Chain A
């Protein structure tokens, strides 16, 4: 590896943006060499500057950006090139695969035309026919079925995953030497992500291009990247071969990221280990190591002097004053805490406050007495009983007068129970009806059929005012902590809302109870006058949890509570939820698409596909002996943050996209994507029954298949 073979050499690259508030230093001192055919993963949380790197490489930075350093591609300096000269390089030498395929394709032209356009703008003299033929070839290569037909489709006729594959086809159209993919799979479901990653691998193999893969997902880089750059606060903090980063990291931040991830292929190893605090603002950064405020190994010199990126091994660089001592510590570096730290002194008091007051609050006793009156059904500990739940949405249409022309079957005969103190995970891809199920259980949507019972009481027939007292028992935490809090209301009032609405507010005890709730979720009660926008995402989610806890519920529906958060923050919320469950005896209906989180937190798991539960069982039944082909495909598609495991795995890559809920396939709904499908699957719908697997499975050909090898303990 001499300098002469280096395809791309980034030296000392810094990018800053001038804004009204001051200089935002988005990227600082990035050095990166790229060899032909190599794949480099750039990993970081939101705000780490990784997307700015992509923009800088392609010369796409906005006007207020100031760049220093150098980017040399094949001995040509890119930073000083004019935009016109840069245009010659973009697309032909360096190709870009952006995150959002919806806005990067032109809705007014067919996808075939858009790929052909990429060809004829670069290769003058290519005939129209040749360009079109090549476009079809490329579509076929990235795995679009019936490519010659689909080439004349418009982007809106494609699903998200297919659009992303079209974008990959455009990127590889001119045989680039470098492809830069910025979060190419972030918004996609796991089975679709697997398809897109396959397409990306196909593109890499076809063009022999070097690939820069920018992502926040350590699992994705584990399977794809040869080398990894970990970025934090705009700076590379560790660069090394993939194996080195995952197994012998020399930087506390990397260790923290790895430790905060729940593992799909491992049974629960105790609570997660979140990184305390949140990433620093890139505006007016203080001196010293930017990770110091969150680092358990922090020393005085870390605060005084920012550590440079130094060689710590062969091809291994890390920016940490204490990297030499890390080998002996491992991932035990971070503490398995549930609190949102930052105020160390306060945390001590949280523990005392939460344990002594949570159970003895007057509201608590009063509410607990209520369900006892009609609690006959609670004998076996079942709190929520859902039977044959159906939710249809009318589809309206018509040419002259709008009228109902059909039904979308969002939820189609779903049944499950949740017992006291238990967590039931409801998992599935987007559009499978899991959120609709949650909202119907909560009676935020009225069921079209079936029954939802809370401790034996039927909820679906109750009026809104009859439901109000029951709302105290069943609460909800939403996915998006930005949208679920009223932006005009101080968080103290947000948490007090439930108390006020249910007449439990009084001038003395009300504020006390609010302070207590702040402490229970690990927030500082002094922040009660702040508004939601003054908190980080994780803290906002804690406010949402405090609001749900205010009425001492028995059941909390968690609708994707951690999917909008960065991994290091997510772990703290997961720990908090577990802590609360242990302490308050809550039952959770935990809705998520992240199978690793589900494995970590749930006792039982139900897998949904297109409005139906296809498999339900205990955690070990689902993860260790999945029997429905869809469950197996889902588990197989999830990337594992472990290069050795990831490279050995055999993937089941599903064909196509989930069908529309408005026109589900006859018989088994999964048959259109199933590799086991036979004639009977189209004719007869397999009921969800026990088929000798030890738990109910809705498949004619159910068969245990251990898809994920369970890795040993650490």
Chain B
């Protein structure tokens, strides 16, 4: 039996402190009175405290991140304008101007805000369509590869041992598959534009997750050894809960940064593939394709290169700002920039 301890009279214990508000004397006992007292304390502070979820708090912090919000705004504008605008604009991206309207490539004018290209396409229509296509591919790839990479990296890093070996050897295998070869083989059976764009997105997603998987695995290997994970085991938490509620939020920084980098990278890789004839094919257009075509003529017809290039730079910039904001929002130790 434990020895008896000297009882201490806490109530009379003098903890008074002159620059704290006078103690609210609590009549001990009744639960109702306690509730009143708590309300009183809260009223004195002039605030009501309610438990907020992690998600709510992250959202609040994101909404206070002005640069990220601006980035998100511009990104959404690009997305909407390109998706809707290509149907409303009075030229279509594939439409070639008739000889009466077209007398050679012209610079920006009222009827063609971004000018026309060498064979008589309206550049504004082209850029609208290209932005839409590129964003579709990039977003699909970024989302899918992030999900896949996080999942595989998380499983490998959390379970370790043979799961780690098997998954990482598989990752190494995927890492050496060249996108060109895969596309060459798969492109044969595809005809329509929608199918070829989707195929491009899926192939890129199937190859892009490997970097993230390695990154997440490394992060998880470190996090797994932390005591808070052990504390979760001691409480009896399931592996799923530990991975989803604790480890992934703690690995959010690298994941989000990687996702935004992927988005930019995909647009560039898609440009390279399109240039080689394996991505988006004329008459369909993508930002990468337009930039590749316009690059050679940029000294003579600068608008052909700079218009799509400017859109690309802006989109990637926005995505990076959003990424910054997300990373800060998910990390409570970061002070919010206002």
A interface vs B, CB < 8 Å?
Answer: 268, 270-271, 276, 293, 296, 298-300, 303, 335-339, 341, 343-349, 351-353, 355-357, 419, 421-423, 439, 442, 444, 467-469, 471-472, 475-476, 478-480, 483-490, 492-493, 496-498, 501-502, 511, 514-515, 525-526, 528-529, 531, 533, 544, 547, 551, 578, 581-582, 603
Cα–Cα distance between A268 and B5 once the two chains are bound (Å): 9
One digit per residue, 1 when the CB lies within 8 angstroms of any chain A CB and 0 when it does not, for chain B 57-87 equals 1000000000000000000000000000000
Given A335-B13, A511-B51, A531-B333: A501 touches B237 (CB 8 Å cut-off): yes
Cα–Cα distance between A13 and B312 once the two chains are bound (Å): 58
Cα–Cα distance between A490 and B23 once the two chains are bound (Å): 28
Contact B19 A422 (CB under 8 A): no
What range describes how many residues of B lie at the interface? 35 or more
One digit per residue, 1 when the CB lies within 8 angstroms of any chain A CB and 0 when it does not, for chain B 325-338 equals 00000111100000
Confirm or deny: B6 has a beta carbon within 8 angstroms of a beta carbon on chain A: yes
- Chain B interface SS verdict (over half): loop
Cβ of B176: which chain A residues have Cβ within 8 Å of it? none
CB<8 Å pairs between A and B, sample of 22: A271-B8, A335-B13, A335-B15, A338-B10, A339-B15, A347-B23, A349-B26, A349-B41, A356-B29, A478-B230, A483-B227, A484-B228, A484-B231, A487-B332, A488-B246, A488-B331, A489-B54, A489-B249, A490-B54, A493-B54, A502-B235, A547-B231
Residue of A nearest to B8 (CB): A336
Given A488-B331, A582-B5: A528 touches B54 (CB 8 Å cut-off): no
Confirm or deny: B283 has a beta carbon within 8 angstroms of a beta carbon on chain A: no
CB distance from B213 to the nearest CB of A (A): 21
- Taking CB atoms and an 8 Å cut-off, the chain B residues in 6-31 that contact chain A are 6, 8, 10-11, 13-31
A-B pairs with CB below 8 Å: how many? 186
B interface vs A, CB < 8 Å?
Answer: 1-3, 5-6, 8, 10-11, 13-31, 34, 37-38, 41-42, 45, 47, 49-54, 57, 226-228, 230-238, 241, 245-246, 249-250, 252, 330-333
Cα–Cα distance between A379 and B279 once the two chains are bound (Å): 77
CB distance from B26 to the nearest CB of A (A): 5
Cα–Cα distance between A497 and B237 once the two chains are bound (Å): 9
Contact B41 A351 (CB under 8 A): no
Cβ of A421: which chain B residues have Cβ within 8 Å of it? 1-2
CB distance from B229 to the nearest CB of A (A): 8
Given A489-B246, A603-B2: A467 touches B227 (CB 8 Å cut-off): no
7 closest A-B pairs by CB = A471-B236, A484-B227, A531-B332, A270-B6, A352-B28, A468-B236, A483-B227
Given A356-B28, A501-B241: A344 touches B17 (CB 8 Å cut-off): yes
Cα–Cα distance between A480 and B54 once the two chains are bound (Å): 23
Contact A603 B3 (CB under 8 A): yes
Cβ of A582: which chain B residues have Cβ within 8 Å of it? 2, 5
Cβ of B234: which chain A residues have Cβ within 8 Å of it? 442, 444, 471, 475-476
Contact B54 A349 (CB under 8 A): no
CB distance from A591 to the nearest CB of B (A): 14
Given A444-B230, A444-B233: A345 touches B21 (CB 8 Å cut-off): yes
Interface-centre pick from A345, A351, A531 (highest chain B CB count, 10 A): A345
Cβ of B241: which chain A residues have Cβ within 8 Å of it? 501
Cα–Cα distance between A521 and B199 once the two chains are bound (Å): 58
Given A444-B230, A476-B234, A498-B235: A529 touches B49 (CB 8 Å cut-off): yes
Contact B57 A357 (CB under 8 A): no
Contact B5 A271 (CB under 8 A): yes
Residue of B nearest to A529 (CB): B52
Cβ of B28: which chain A residues have Cβ within 8 Å of it? 351-352, 355-356
CB distance from B90 to the nearest CB of A (A): 51
Choose among A480, A489, A501, A531 the residue that contacts B235 (Cβ–Cβ < 8 A). A501
Cα–Cα distance between A488 and B28 once the two chains are bound (Å): 36
Cβ of A423: which chain B residues have Cβ within 8 Å of it? 2
Residue of A nearest to B27 (CB): A352
Contact B235 A349 (CB under 8 A): no
CB distance from A546 to the nearest CB of B (A): 12
Choose among B14, B18, B53 the residue that contacts A335 (Cβ–Cβ < 8 A). B14
Given A298-B17, A471-B235: A271 touches B6 (CB 8 Å cut-off): yes
Interface-centre pick from A423, A469, A582 (highest chain B CB count, 10 A): A582
Given A471-B234, A490-B52: A351 touches B11 (CB 8 Å cut-off): yes
CB distance from B71 to the nearest CB of A (A): 23
Residue of A nearest to B37 (CB): A349
Residue of A nearest to B2 (CB): A603
Cα–Cα distance between A270 and B9 once the two chains are bound (Å): 12
Cα–Cα distance between A476 and B231 once the two chains are bound (Å): 7
Contact A486 B15 (CB under 8 A): no
Choose among B51, B237, B333 the residue that contacts A529 (Cβ–Cβ < 8 A). B51
Cβ of B47: which chain A residues have Cβ within 8 Å of it? 526
Cα–Cα distance between A429 and B187 once the two chains are bound (Å): 67
